[in-house]
Structure 1
Amino acid sequence: MKGLILALAALLATPAAAKPVSFATDIAPMLKTRCAVCHLTGQEAGNLALHPKAAYASLFKRKSGESPWLLVDPKKPDTSYLVMKLEGTHLKKGGKGARMPFAAPPLDAATVALLRRWISEGATNN
């Protein structure tokens, strides 16, 4: 009986499953406001177009030009070069260049965590 009570208490203490991160409503708007200013056409550094209509194709399962890593490696935020560039860990992992966003304040921890969660969930174009 005690085991059943503990199991029920643990179940009740567990938060409800979080709504999946949406690329269209959560990630693309952030890329538009924080990244597309410099990465608009795909001709800029990194060869990335990060405006909403092009961002997913520019990032998903594409190899970085600065490292051996994929820009977005589905279900693997720790090996996604985009995360490394945003967190400033890219140089330690064989990357090049500056932390992103360039010449601007880093993204806040909550935004990076949301991006990490989207990648962990499979980086779908939803």
Structure 2
Amino acid sequence: MAVAGALALACAGCENDDAVVLRPPAAPDLTDPVSLALDIQPTFTASCALSGCHAGAFPVAGLTLEEGRLYEPGLGAVGVASAQAPLLRIEPGASDRSYLVHKLEGTQGQVGGVGARMPLGGPPVSAEFLEALRTWIDDGAPDN
């Protein structure tokens, strides 16, 4: 299944005037396992891992969503503590306890988090992408 582009994270508020707003894709086919490489990472790379957002030496909130860095201790997302809430950014097997999901849904305040819903200044992510992201996390957030 290809969800690339589903996230539509424009990062308009991330000090990057060259950000591109992506159109929401068709609903993903969740009958196949969700793939980080095919369904999740391409959207993070195109929409979030931009200069001034979640990329580079000093990414916003100390979180990089660059390809190959999601599992990086400290700056990555999988299994890494959030600096904004008492949760992991992505807790493998537990999308409800994954701060990244709450930030994308705008429910970060309910879990002790701060700041605005992501993408900052952009449209909310699609329900289809959130479903794919939750499924991938609930399946253990595999490096697939």
Q: State the TM-score, normalizing by the size of structure 2.
A: 0.72
Larger radius of gyration: 1
Q: Which runs of 5 or more residues in structure 1 are unaligned? A: 1-16
Q: CA RMSD in A?
A: 1.4
Contact 1:42-1:48 within 8 A present in 2 as well: no
Q: Deviations over 1:15-42 (max 9, x none)?
A: xx92211111111001112211211115
CA distance in 2, matches of 1:94, 1:42: 27
* Percent identity (aligned): 41
1:55 match: 70
Contact 1:75-1:122 within 8 A present in 2 as well: yes
CA shift, 1:79, in A, is 0.6
Q: Deviations over 1:30-65 (max 9, x none)?
A: 111221121111513211121212234311100000
In the alignment, structure 1 residue 18 sits paired with structure 2 residue 31: yes
CA distance in 1, matches of 2:117, 2:57: 18
Equivalent residue letter for 2:66: H
CA distance in 2, matches of 1:97, 1:42: 22
> 1:77 is matched with which residue: 80, 95, 117?
95
1:35 match: 48
CA distance in 2, matches of 1:107, 1:33: 14
Q: State the TM-score, normalizing by the size of structure 1.
A: 0.81
Moved over 4 A (4+): none
> 2:132 is matched with which residue: 114, 122, 126?
114
Higher relative contact order (CA 8 A, sep 6+): 2
Contact 2:87-2:99 within 8 A present in 1 as well: yes
Equivalent residue letter for 1:44: P
Moved more, 45-54 or 61-70: 45-54
CA shift, 1:90, in A, is 0.4
Moved more, 110-119 or 30-39: 30-39
CA distance in 1, matches of 2:38, 2:71: 13
Count of aligned pairs: 110
Q: Which runs of 5 or more residues in structure 2 are unaligned? A: 1-29
Q: Deviations over 1:56-104 (max 9, x none)?
A: 4311100000011000111110010000000000012100111111111
